[in-house]
Amino acid sequence: MTTAPDDWEALRNSWESAEPTAGGPEALALVRRARRGEAFAALAELVLVLVAIGGIALALRHAADTLELTLGVSAGAAIVGAWALGAITRSREAKAVASSASDYASALRRLRTRQLRVVHSTWVVLALELVFLAPWWAGGIGPHRGRLGDPVALASLWLPLAAMLGLAAWSARFRRRLVAELRRLEGFQREMAQERDGG
C-alpha cells in the first residue's frame, strides 16, 4: 500500500513555505543560555542536597536517643534517594532519546511507571509516619495546651505537619501528571499497534 506522491506535493509546498527562525547564530546562543541554566540548576540542586544532609548530620551529633538517630538517618537517606532517582531518570531519558519512536515510548513508559511506584511508596511512608506521629502529637497537646505557638511546638508539630502536607500535595500533583503522561504513552503505543495489527 502506498500513497500517491502528487497527493502530498501541495502539502509539502505549504509545509516548507514558512520563514524559519531556528538555525542561525541566535539558536546557538539559545543553547549556550540553556546549558548555563541547566548547569546552574544542577549546581543549585546539589548545594541544596548537601546543605540538607549537612544540617541533618549536625543535628544527629546531638541526637538524644536511637529513635532520633534513626529518624535523622532515614530523612537523610530519603533526600539522597530522591536526588539520585531524579538524576538517574534524567540520564536514562537522555540516553533513550536517540532510539526509535516505539523504543523511546517504551523506555518513557518504564520510567514513568517507576516514578509512579515511588509516589505510591511516598504515600505509604506518609501514612506510616502519621500512624507514629498522630498519637505522639495527641499526647503532647495536653501538657503543652496554650503553648502551641512556642518553638518546641513549631519544631515538633507544625513544621513536620506542614512538610507532610506539602509532600502529599506535591506527590498528588506529580501523580496526576504521571498518570496523564502514561495514558498518552499507552495511546501512542496503541496507535502504533493498530496499523501493525491491521486495525
Q: Does 17 bind another protein (CB under 8 A)?
A: yes
Identity of the residue numbered 28:
L
Q: Which residues contact 63 (CB under 8 A, 6 or more apart)?
A: 69, 72
Residue 146 backbone phi and psi in degrees, to 5: 85, -5
Binding another protein (rule: CB under 8 A), the pick from 70, 99, 113, 121 is 99
Q: Does 98 bind another protein (CB under 8 A)?
A: yes
Single out the residue of 174, 192, 195, 173 nearest to residue 184, CA to CA: 192
Q: Does 74 bind another protein (CB under 8 A)?
A: no
Residue with smaller CB distance to another protein, 15 or 151: 15
Binding another protein (rule: CB under 8 A), the pick from 6, 62, 65, 100 is 100
Binding another protein (rule: CB under 8 A), the pick from 65, 143, 145, 195 is 195
Binding another protein (rule: CB under 8 A), the pick from 52, 59, 96, 167 is 96
Residue with smaller CB distance to another protein, 111 or 171: 111
* Virtual torsion, Cα 48, 54, 59, 60, nearest 10 deg: 130
Residue with smaller CB distance to another protein, 28 or 141: 28
Residue with smaller CB distance to another protein, 101 or 163: 101
Query: Minimum distance between the CB of residue 100 and another protein, rounded to whole angstroms?
Result: 3
Rounded Cα–Cα distance for residues 107 and 117 (Å): 15
Q: Does 6 bind another protein (CB under 8 A)?
A: no
Q: Would you say 80 and 53 are in contact if contact means Cβ atoms under 8 Å apart?
A: yes
Binding another protein (rule: CB under 8 A), the pick from 56, 60, 93, 119 is 93
Three cell numbers at 157?
A: 508539630
Rounded Cα–Cα distance for residues 142 and 162 (Å): 21
Q: Which residues contact 97 (CB under 8 A, 6 or more apart)?
A: 104
Q: Does 192 bind another protein (CB under 8 A)?
A: yes
